[in-house]
């Protein structure tokens, strides 16, 4: 069935009613995969990971070990002149570690997320000190100065932008006295990134449908979450409009073409992830019937992404794909459990496949994969 005028009418009818209510599901009773896993969780089942404080303590080591590690480092820098070269910590006083800027940003998100979920972490005070040190007003001003360079206007567009807003959202929703200080320090950079989204999105004529950093749907999803948390109506409405402009008429996403060899995002599923946010329930169901109807089937299956060499920075992306696929499935389950609960087993299996490879893995994956695992596990929980 092709989309008809009825879909657009439904959108108009429901647009004034706000965002679809997000329904909750019970907390995942998850298990560690294998006894020999370095994360050493209790073995409770074959395809589930138990997100306990023990696992959180282990996962916390990943960002703690990289946020102050300058080298190796991928700057992604366009040089205006020879004076533009500098040490990573000079160019990016807040976010210089973890190989690249966006990984450093989401490493800080990881520490904050773990601290919020597990206040009794073994290194809770260390994390607090690190966050306060990195996210000082002076350091954030240094980051702003970099973005204002002549050749840096599109720096980290939109993947790094999205993670910066995810960090800001995490601070915005943290009920802790420290949150006010961090939020105030980060606010000028957050406001700059919001401004960049508002300036850029109207100029983007076509979405970018790839499985890596520049995927438009991913960048919209995280920015939309921030807009909700911060009650930024202008950003929320713009993202909703552009997502519908880009994706509303899409049909028959070729899921069987995925994954590509370097994917850490699913182009099809990330599109689902933004559209479930911006469309009311009935309109979303009609859209999905044309776009990926197989997701509704109890018989739907999806094989995990297999990594052949985890020391290869590109090939290890597929571990990230397993986590990002899972967070899309968990998001669907949380919002519409009556429709998508059958996807839980697939999501659990994707997380379980890649989870044992996090701690003790090479730096190629260790500097970022923990973040993807944490976000997937966070989405799996009853919130």
Q: What is the pLDDT of residues 248-304, one digit of tens each?
A: 999 999 999 999 999 999 999 999 999 999 999 999 999 999 999 999 999 999 999
How many CB atoms neighbour CB 206 within 10 A?
Answer: 8
CA distances from residue 210 to 14, 128, 263, 269, 327 in whole angstroms, order as listed: 30, 36, 8, 11, 18
Distance CA 152, CA 145 (A): 10
User: DSSP label at 27?
Assistant: P
Q: Is the pLDDT of residue 41 over 80?
A: no
Which residue's structure tokens are 């973005």?
147
CA distances from residue 64 to 37, 59, 87, 367 in whole angstroms, order as listed: 20, 9, 20, 10
CATH number for 5-380: choose from 1.50.10, 1.10.1760, 1.10.287, 3.30.1490. Answer: 1.50.10
Where does the chain show beta strands of DSSP type E? none
How many CB atoms neighbour CB 147 within 10 A?
Answer: 16
Structure tokens given for 53: 């404080």
- Residues 23, 334 contacting (CB under 8 angstroms): yes
Long-range contacts of 135-142 (CB under 8 A, 24+ apart): 135/94, 135/108, 135/182, 135/185, 135/186, 136/94, 136/185, 137/184, 137/185, 138/93, 139/93, 139/94, 140/94, 140/185, 140/186, 140/188, 140/189, 141/188, 142/92, 142/93, 142/94
Structure tokens given for 264: 């850490």
User: Three-state DSSP class for 22?
Assistant: coil
- Residues 73, 99 contacting (CB under 8 angstroms): yes
Distance CA 312, CA 260 (A): 15
How many CB atoms neighbour CB 16 within 10 A?
Answer: 6
What's the CA angle centered on 361, arms 358 and 367, to 5 degrees? 70
Question: Quick one: pLDDT at residue 4?
Answer: 46
Per-residue pLDDT band at 359 (split at 50, 70, 90): low
Distance CA 146, CA 149 (A): 5
Question: Quick one: pLDDT at residue 7?
Answer: 56
Percent of the chain residues past pLDDT 70, beyond the cut: 86
The 10s digit of each residue's pLDDT in 150-176 is 999 999 999 999 999 999 999 999 999
How many CB atoms neighbour CB 318 within 10 A?
Answer: 23
SS (H, E, C) 153-219: CCCCCCHHHHHHHHHHHHHHCCCCHHHHHHHHHHHHHHHHHHHHHHHHHHHCCCCCCCCCCCCHHHH
Per-residue pLDDT band at 31 (split at 50, 70, 90): very low
Helix (H) or strand (E) holding 2: none
Q: Residue 131's closest CA among 145, 110, 100, 156?
A: 110
Structure tokens given for 54: 């023990």
Work out whether the CA dihedral 29, 374, 241, 260 comes out positive or negative.
negative
- Residues 76, 123 contacting (CB under 8 angstroms): no
Distance CA 136, CA 155 (A): 21
Q: Residue 368's closest CA among 58, 108, 31?
A: 108
The 10s digit of each residue's pLDDT in 185-233 is 999 999 999 999 999 999 999 999 999 999 999 999 999 999 999 999 9
Distance CA 374, CA 269 (A): 19
Question: Quick one: pLDDT at residue 34?
Answer: 34
Q: Where are the domains of the chain?
A: 5-380
Question: Quick one: pLDDT at residue 107?
Answer: 98
Radius of gyration of the chain (CA): 20
The highest-confidence range among 11-15, 25-29, 253-257, by mean pLDDT, is 253-257
Q: Quick one: 348 exposed, middle or buried, by C-beta within 10 A (0-12, 13-18, 19+)?
A: buried
């Amino acid at each position: 069935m092709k989309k008809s005028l009825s879909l657009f009418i439904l959108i108009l009818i429901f647009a004034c009613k706000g965002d679809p209510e997000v329904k909750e599901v019970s907390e995942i009773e998850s298990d560690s995969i294998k006894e020999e896993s370095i994360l050493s969780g209790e073995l409770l089942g074959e395809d589930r990971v138990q997100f306990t404080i023990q696992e959180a303590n282990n996962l916390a080591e990943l960002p703690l070990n990289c946020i102050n590690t300058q080298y190796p480092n991928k700057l992604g820098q366009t040089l205006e002149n020879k004076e533009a070269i500098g040490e990573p910590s000079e160019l990016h006083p807040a976010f210089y570690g973890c190989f690249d800027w966006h990984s450093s940003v989401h490493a800080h998100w990881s520490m904050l997320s773990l601290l919020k979920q597990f206040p009794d972490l073994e290194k809770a005070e260390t994390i607090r000190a690190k966050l306060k040190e990195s996210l000082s007003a002076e350091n954030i001003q240094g980051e702003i100065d970099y973005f204002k360079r002549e050749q840096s206007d599109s720096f980290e567009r939109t993947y790094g932008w999205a993670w910066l807003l995810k960090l800001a959202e995490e601070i915005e929703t943290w009920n802790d006295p420290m949150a006010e200080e961090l939020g105030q320090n980060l606010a000028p950079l957050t406001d700059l990134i919001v401004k960049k989204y508002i300036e850029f999105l109207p100029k983007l004529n076509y979405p970018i449908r790839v499985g890596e950093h520049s995927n438009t749907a991913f960048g919209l999803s995280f920015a939309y979450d921030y807009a909700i948390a911060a009650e930024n109506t202008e950003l929320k409405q713009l993202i909703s409009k552009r997502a519908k402009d880009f994706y509303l008429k899409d049909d028959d996403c070729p899921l069987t073409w995925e994954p590509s060899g370097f994917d850490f995002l699913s182009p099809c599923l990330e599109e689902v992830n933004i559209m479930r946010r911006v469309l009311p329930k009935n309109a979303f169901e009609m859209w999905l019937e044309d776009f990926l109807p197989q997701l509704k089937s109890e018989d739907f299956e999806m094989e995990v992404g297999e990594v052949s060499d985890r020391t290869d920075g590109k090939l290890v992306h597929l571990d990230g794909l397993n986590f990002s696929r899972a967070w899309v499935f968990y998001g669907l389950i949380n919002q519409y459990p009556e429709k998508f609960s059958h996807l839980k087993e697939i999501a659990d299996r994707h997380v379980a496949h890649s989870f044992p490879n996090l701690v003790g893995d090479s730096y190629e994956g260790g500097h970022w994969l923990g973040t993807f695992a944490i976000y997937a596990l966070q989405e799996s929980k009853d919130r």
